[in-house]
Structure 1
Amino acid sequence: MTDIRLSRRRLLGATGLALAAPSLVLAEQKPAPIVVNRHNIAGFRTHRWQDHFDDLGKGVIVADTEARALHFWAGNGKVERIFPTSVPRTDELTKRGYTKIVRKKVGPDWTPTPSMLKENPDLEYMPPGPHNPLGTHAMYLSWPAYLIHGTHDPRKIGRQSSSGCIGLYNNMVEQLFAMAPVGTQVHVI
């Protein structure tokens, strides 16, 4: 009886191998195509600070709205970091050019802008806290109403989801906040 069981197992194993063999042969002959979901990735590219600024000064940031990434270099040239970001929903909301960090705040409060209220009249002032759209830290730019800030909604990162600002995960904006002093040069491209 033992021999019959082994024979049945061998027969089942051989059948499974025979059924899989054509797939194995095809897999060896032709590599599987690489499938890329273009809806979930950005056209990432790296930057050199020298292509955007004459010197590092206190530090520099390149916020790439197409790649949805923020590049940071410290003033001493030793720290380079890249952070994934959220970017403005539309091109009309995107301000591009040179600016700088003029103020920083831990636990920012949020007031909707007139254009936000026009789009959604139900929006109201929000004090610092876990549901604040600016997250845990904010860096105000020399352009009024444009910031680099955290977000209470991590699903926004990597997407066109803001009303003009550059958003980062809260833990990452906290890191950037500690490294980028007031006066850090910013280029939004």
Structure 2
Amino acid sequence: MTQTRRAFLATGAAGLVTLAAPAIAASDAVQRNVSALQNIDWRDHFDALGRGIIVADTGARAVHYWGGDGETYRLYPSSVPVSPELTKLGYTEVVRKVDGPTWTPTPSMRERDPSLPKVVPAGPGNPLGTHALYLSWQYYRIHGTHDTRKIGRPSSDGCIGLYNEHIARLFALVEVGTQVRLI
């Protein structure tokens, strides 16, 4: 289910408590993330909503979406890169949307692991999950994952991963041209 900001904050922050997990006693780290999520606003990052805004907060492991209508807001837990240097931070935009994406390892991935396949077709073995939002930065995506253990953890080579059910919902809301900021 898509959670509202209030419901998400009530159950836990940014995947530290997964959507399916029962509530747990809040640790200091969870409390800090909840406080950070409560204070984020699109106006802190952009001058106008335009077609919509996505703020991917790598520190809080959360993806915020505000619709261009000024009424729609969604918050999703996300995965983040294994290493901070693997993800660019800054401004970009959604340039393409793909339902059932194929995955092609980047040249640097293939250099690190030559055994990687050249292409992985859409399906359960595809690291991009069921949907992908392609960003203007080459090789960067906001995408789903079939491996739900990755959400809320460092697990990617630079992309922002969401549960497949969440990326499907976000995919339906997002238009090409949606502004994106990774912080």
TM-score class normalised by the smaller sequence: 0.7 to 0.9
TM-score by length of 1: 0.78
Q: Deviations over 1:15-55 (max 9, x none)?
A: xxxxxxxxxxxxxxxxxxx67385x8983422100000000
Alpha carbon RMSD of aligned pairs, Å?
1.7
Say if 1:156 and 1:37 are closer, same or farther in 2 by CA, change over 3 A: farther
Structure 2 portions without partners, runs of 5+? 1-24
**Pair 1:73 & 2:56 matched:** no
Q: Distance in 2 between matches of 1:146 and 1:181?
A: 17
**Pair 1:127 & 2:117 matched:** no
Write out aligned runs for 1:1-189 (5 A): 36=27, 43-44=33-34, 45-46=36-37, 47-124=40-117, 125-189=119-183
Structure 1 portions without partners, runs of 5+? 1-33
8 Å contact kept, 1:85–1:157: yes
Say if 1:58 and 1:118 are closer, same or farther in 2 by CA, change over 3 A: same
Number of residues paired by the alignment?
Answer: 155
Runs of 4+ in 1 over 4 A off after TM superposition: none
Say if 1:37 and 1:121 are closer, same or farther in 2 by CA, change over 3 A: farther
> Shift of residue 118 of structure 1?
1.8
Identity fraction in percent: 58
**Which of 1 and 2 has greater Rg?**
1
> What SS does the aligned partner of 1:82 have?
strand
Q: Distance in 1 between matches of 2:126 and 2:101?
A: 8
